[in-house]
Amino acid sequence: MSGLFSLNGRRALITGSSQGIGLALTRGLAQAGAEVVLNGRDTAKLSAAAATLRDEGATVFELAFDATDHAGVRAAVDGFEADHGAIDILVNNAGMQHRTPLEDFPAEMFEKLLQTNVASVFHVGQACARHMIERGRGKIINIASVQTALARPGIAPYTTTKGAVGNLTKGMATDWARHGLQCNAIAPGYFDTPLNKALVDDPEFSAWLEKRTPAGRWGNVEELVGACVFLSSDASSFVNGHTLYVDGGITASL
């Protein structure tokens, strides 16, 4: 049974993987046997994360590119495949947040959220899928959110982008399943990450969250690893277009 979840001989590219959820997923995939390709725009942070993972015994590549730059993404992915071989697993994790009441939300930040949270999934997904389709296999995992299904005051544009990620995941599966690809999403609940630092540091919000979440607490990023390994492995060979909520039950309850 354990062989179903083994990632030995696979290589995974994780966008936005120098910190937070991306780094935790990268570490988890490496521990399951995968070679990992770290991505980000900050080369110093990328190198530091790569050094840490190498010290832990992981086989690590660094691939710096801006996930919102279509031509740059294509060149980076094509170049990596030519130089190093197949990217078998893609985790589209790059994302950002901006909190402002909707009536005051800056238009330029709305556009930046669309590019970072949605367009990047298309750019990197398409670049990797073209190679996966040629090989007749591949795994794409998009990082969605509880905001794929729910809304909360002050983050309507973020909610918009994560709803789009959920539907883009369905579209990827619909177009690419016939080529042997499995395209799914993980929707994290509220996790203690740099992206959520303002909320984690707010005692009032944390108290609200603990009451609102059936599990009664913030999530730890390591608790996302099992879902990612499952969706990256042969164990999910007939799972396609699915969004897996890892949220302590928050989307299941009122």
All structural domains of the chain, each given as residue ranges with its CATH number in brackets, are: 2-248 (3.40.50.720)
Catalytic residue ranges: 158
pLDDT for res 2: 67
> CA 247 to CA 189: how far, in whole Å?
4
Query: Which tokens is 26 given?
Result: 């990268």
Residue whose structure tokens are 């809304």: 151
pLDDT for res 197: 87
pLDDT for res 137: 98
> CA 79 to CA 36: how far, in whole Å?
16
Q: Each residue's pLDDT tens digit in the chain (254 positions)?
A: 568 999 999 999 999 999 999 999 999 999 999 999 999 999 999 999 999 999 999 999 999 999 999 999 999 999 999 999 999 999 999 999 999 999 999 999 999 999 999 999 999 999 999 999 999 999 999 999 999 999 999 999 999 999 999 999 999 999 999 999 999 999 999 999 887 888 999 999 999 999 999 999 999 999 999 999 999 999 999 999 999 999 999 999 98
Within 8 A by CB and 6+ apart from 30, the residues are: 36, 53, 56, 57, 58, 59, 60
